[in-house]
Chains A and B, each alone.
Chain A
Amino acid sequence: MKNLFKIIILSCLFLYSGYSLAQGEKDKVEAIRVNFISEQLKLTTNESEKFWPVYNEYMDKVKAVRKNLRQSYKKAPEELSDKEAEELYQLDLKSKQTEAELYKQYSEKIKVIIGAKKIVKLREAEEEFKRKVMKAIKDKDD
């Protein structure tokens, strides 16, 4: 009986480990992205102390908006009723609008902390990282 209990516990642990693998890998990509931005920006200690909490908060919100929208696309467009399609369309608009507003709101905050030059550099670094990701995906497909 004791052995059965141990086997059940061990099985649960292995299943749990496997389940969380995908999330771990996403975090790895995120860590590389943050490191890349950090290297590009070359923040001073004082800037870094204030910048990262604000930037992390911004990213948490943007990710939540995108995830929410992504999860709403459950059905194929042909399977949607008119009402569902309208709701999805409205959510899409609202999500894009929220993203734009968050972008503006947090850009203002970040600008006060690191200045206009570094915020331009930040955008450039973000875009550069996206390009690298795209290139990696394209190279794989080729």
Chain B
Amino acid sequence: MSRKYNIFKVLVFIGIIFLFSTQIKGQATFDSLKLKLPKHYFKTVIIVDGYNKPNQTFTDTNDFLAKRLKSYGLKQSSLSFYTPLVTYTDVDTVKHITKNTHILLTGNYMRLRPVFDGIKQHNLVKMGIGLRFIFNSGKKGVWFVETSPFITKDVTYASKGYFRMASTVIYSYNVSERFNWRIGATKSFMWGNKNYWPFIGLRFGRLDKVNLSIQFPRSINFNVPVGPKLTMSFYTKPQGGMYNFSNHDSIYYISNASTFSYTRYELNSGFRADVRVNNNFNFYIAAGISSKNNITFYSEKINSKRPNLPYKTYFFKETLGPTIFLNIGLVFKFGKTRTFYKDRNMYDVMDLNNTIDVGDNNGGAGNPQIPITPKTKKDVNLNSIQDLIDYNDF
């Protein structure tokens, strides 16, 4: 018995050595060709986004400031990017799982013009650089941690910039391709002021197929890929932020404050079309109804001098009725990446990165890197794409 056991041990040992040597040989020959494989899974992505809401007249005739400001509309444009800094891939040869860690640099420059007919126009700027860390465990879980510091400033008149920070931590669990849940916490300004929210996400359906994605407090999306080039989405989500506003027009008439805080949020519901023109360029167009159009003015500095008052005691607050909005964006993708077809966890990594948009504006590039596979019949008809086939690729 003991002898047989020893023979078995020797055979197992030889087997392991044989398998290991094959792997080393394969890798060594590959390395000797000095070929460079792409390091990252993420492309460098640049997003140019424009967002407009028409002017609405303030109907509150009792408020002095509402009468003075007359109407309110929005013109917003932003330039944001994310780029992979570090990608670390680790293959567990025992459990046969591929783990990877991604560190991305993000940046955002946003220019916002709240259009008040009663005063001169102000251009408000928000700019920031952030970092995000994503860990794909290779099994079912994905971790996402982001910090996004930014400065807001009124650039029309000389004003001091304010430093603020948004951040998010999420754990995402892929029960199957068709069902995913997420839990976490987020500090965000998308609901106007600084808010700490729990993050709860549920997705029903595959990311590359029809799916319903509920990501509280960020968005509810019903996504329908019409083909490999077009995805339609029906969604509802808040959009907003907190900005510095110069008191050049003496809007804060009871004080001599040079700046005050202007906060806004609106709840946008509508449809969005994401068009994948090619591998390196997408664009999207979204339109719909913007409701609960909220706007506030307050001065934290002045409020802090008044004992027993909350820091955000407003001197102006209005909620306007529903109106329409239009959002258009261009998405440019650069660089070569590693392949991740049908890799459920990597699809989730990509989706997490886009659900939490760059710069805390709650916009987003969609999911430009998740491949939407063309519908294949039982017998694939390649005649329609025969001009595209490169024989050498097979």
Residues on A lying within 8 angstroms of B by beta carbon are 13, 16-17, 19-21, 23-32, 34-36, 38-39, 45, 48-50, 52-54, 56-57, 59-61, 63-66, 68, 70, 94-95, 97-98, 101-102, 104-106, 108-109, 112-113, 129-130, 132-133, 135-137, 139-140
B-side contacts of A65, CB under 8 Å: 30, 33, 35
**Nearest A residue to B330 by beta-carbon distance?**
A13
- Cβ-defined contact, A45 with B177, below 8 A: yes
Tell which of B32, B36, B98, B372 has the most Cβ of chain A within 10 Å. Answer: B98
CB distance from B42 to the nearest CB of A (A): 15
A-B contact pairs, 27 of them (CB 8 A): A13-B330, A16-B332, A23-B280, A24-B280, A26-B388, A29-B390, A31-B341, A32-B374, A32-B382, A35-B376, A45-B177, A48-B342, A49-B344, A53-B97, A61-B35, A64-B37, A94-B29, A94-B33, A97-B29, A98-B26, A105-B23, A105-B25, A105-B27, A106-B26, A136-B386, A136-B389, A137-B389
**Residues of B with C-beta under 8 A to A133:** 382, 389, 391, 394
Contact partners of B346 in chain A: CB under 8 A: 53
Interchain CB contact (< 8 A) of B278 among A24, A63, A97: A24
Task: Tell me, yes or no, whether B321 is within 8 Å of chain A by CB.
Answer: no
B340 in the interface (beta carbon within 8 A): yes
What are the residues of chain A within 8 A of B228 when measuring CB–CB?
28, 31
Judging by beta carbons under 8 Å apart, are A50 and B26 in contact? no
Judging by beta carbons under 8 Å apart, are A109 and B96 in contact?
Answer: yes
CB distance from B371 to the nearest CB of A (A): 5
Q: How far is the CB of A130 from chain B (nearest CB, A)?
A: 5
Whether A94 pairs with B32 at a CB distance below 8 angstroms is yes
- Contact (Cβ within 8 A) B281 A105: no
In the assembly, what is the distance between CA of A132 and CA of B386, in Å? Answer: 10
Chain B interface residue count, Cβ-Cβ cutoff 8 angstroms: 59
A105 touches B26 (CB 8 A): yes
Say yes or no: A52 contacts B342, CB within 8 Å: yes
Contacts of A26 in B (CB 8 A): 388, 390, 393
What residue in chain A is nearest B338 (Cβ atoms)? A60
Interface string of B357-394 (1 = CB under 8 A from A): 00000000000000111101000101101111111111
**CB pair B373 A32 closer than 8 Å:** yes
Task: State whether B279 touches A31 (Cβ < 8 A).
Answer: no
Q: What is the CA–CA distance of A114 and B394 in the complex, to the nearest angstrom?
A: 23
CB distance from A30 to the nearest CB of B (A): 7
Q: A16-B332, A53-B98 are in contact. Are A29 and B393 (CB under 8 A)?
A: yes
Q: Is the interface of A mostly helix, strand, loop or mixed?
A: helix
CB distance from A116 to the nearest CB of B (A): 15
Q: Which residues of B contact A27 (CB under 8 A)?
A: 279, 371
The distance in angstroms between the C-alpha atoms of A17 and B96, with both chains bound, is 39
- Inside 8 A of B332's CB, which chain A residues have their CB? 13, 16
Knowing A20-B279, A95-B33 touch, does A102 contact B26 (C-beta < 8 A)? yes
B343 at the interface (CB under 8 A from A): yes
Q: Which residues of chain B are near A66, meaning CB under 8 Å?
A: 392-393
Across the two chains, which residue of chain A brings its CB closest to B98?
Answer: A53
Cα–Cα, bound, A49→B176 (Å): 9
| Cα A133 to Cα B344 with chains together (Å) | 27
Are B281 and A16 touching (Cβ within 8 A)? yes
Cβ–Cβ contact B280 & A20, under 8 A: yes
Does any Cβ of A come within 8 Å of B299's Cβ?
no
- Complex: A133 Cα to B341 Cα, angstroms: 20
B176: nearest residue on chain A (CB-CB)? A45
Contacts of A23 in B (CB 8 A): 278-280
Collect the chain B residues with CB atoms within 8 Å of residue A31's CB: 228, 341, 371-374
- Rounded to whole angstroms, the CA-CA distance of A57 and B207 in the bound complex is 21
Chain A: minimal CB distance from B139 (Å): 7
Contact B380 A36, beta carbon cutoff 8 Å: yes
Verify if B19 is at the interface (C-beta below 8 Å from A): yes
B277 contacts the other chain (Cβ, under 8 Å)? yes
- A17 pairs with B380, CB closer than 8 A: no
Query: Bound state CA distance, A60 and B96, in angstroms?
Result: 18
Chain B residues in 8 Å Cβ range of A112? 96
Chain A residues lying within 8 Å of B22, measured Cβ to Cβ, are 101, 104-105, 108
Other A-B contacts than A68-B35, A109-B96, A133-B389, 11 sampled, CB-CB below 8 A, are A21-B278, A27-B279, A28-B388, A35-B374, A45-B177, A57-B98, A98-B30, A104-B22, A105-B25, A133-B394, A137-B386
